[in-house]
Amino acid sequence: MRIGNVDLGDKPVMLAPMEDVTDQSFRQICREQGADMVYTEFVSADALVRSVNSTLRKLNISDAERPAAIQIYGKDIDSMTEAAKIAEAAHPEVIDINFGCPVKKVAGKGAGAGMLRNIPLMLAITRAVVNAVKVPVTVKTRLGWDADSKIIVELAEQLQDCGIQALTIHGRTRAQLYTGEADWTLIGKVKANPRMHIPIIGNGDITTPQKLADYYNRYGVDGVMVGRAAIGAPWIFREMKQFLADGTIPEISNRNKMQLLRRQITESIDRIDEYRGILHIRRHLAATPLFKGIPNFRETRIAMLQAATYEQLNEILNYVESHFLQ
């Protein structure tokens, strides 16, 4: 699969853009574990244009994490085209437009999945961004606004006509948020449409190597994007890539998994500061499958997620590793 000049090979597995998750450290770790391409946290076009420092920092991409895409979102043509130019200056391999975020603070204001209620503006923004930059532009969106407006088959053609070079589709409507199961049926129909010639990337509920392989075979997509299943488990890319290659799942020791989590903690602290770095990493610690199934773990888990200093957190992790993860 190719996006512009970026060759991602056969059946690539990508790290999805996730707010407060896909920071630079996590992206690099996921690349090391086998992710074929990574995406930044979504970046507000308005904040980029206003040169908000915290937003500008999201544009930093290291050589070790490439190929990488910067994802932007917004609700008007001028700010989105200007933001795309600013993002291009950070030299990403791809600029991705977010037309899929369902959360109220984004979609409720007309951005993200909110654009699914204003297709003419969505297409105008897409066309303008494509024309504003030289790097490949892609789009990530959903099936439609709700169950009565699943428009993705027609919309995919319209977006392709705007000049995008790949399309990622999450298998839910905006109304579903993240409830229920992702429906890949329409993703498969988009891929099967003979008028489509750009790569189609499927997204939604790919949680195991086995499901990844099954959905590749069932729906014929060009690529798959993995999101929530990677939170607290960056090694899932190593498992998925090996399973696609030979049908086996590598044995990754609990000690190695813990080392990856510890690395995220220290790099998060180094990047921000001790207190906020620990706050940032809590989502990974809460979600990681590494601690699932440990008997009577509730009190330890609460203490781990309430730790306010690196010393406290490290002491708890040392205890967990020595008592439960041998």
Catalytically annotated residues = 101
Distance of alpha carbon 136 from alpha carbon 172, whole angstroms: 25
Contacts of 195 (CB under 8 A, 6+ apart): 157, 160
Cα(140)–Cα(181) distance, integer angstroms: 18
The tokens describing 132, both together, are 């504003």
> What radius of gyration, in Å, describes the C-alpha atoms of the chain?
20
CA triple 196-201-205, angle to 5 deg:
140
**What is the CB neighbour count within 10 angstroms for residue 66?**
17
The strand pair at 68-73 and 37-39 is best described as parallel
List phi, psi (to 5°) of 66: -70, 150
Question: What count of residues does the chain have?
Answer: 326
CB 6 within 8 A of CB 67: yes
Does residue 43 sit in helix, strand or coil?
A: strand
Q: Where are the beta strands (DSSP E) in the chain?
A: 2-3, 6-7, 13-15, 37-39, 43-44, 68-73, 94-99, 137-142, 167-170, 200-203, 223-226
3-state DSSP helix/strand/coil % of the chain, to nearest 5: 50, 15, 35
Both tokens of 310, joined, read: 């690196």
By CB atoms closer than 10 A (0-12, 13-18, 19+), residue 287 is middle
Neighbour tally for 33: CB within 10 Å: 20
Which among 231, 226, 204, 206 has a CA at the least distance from the CA of 287? 231
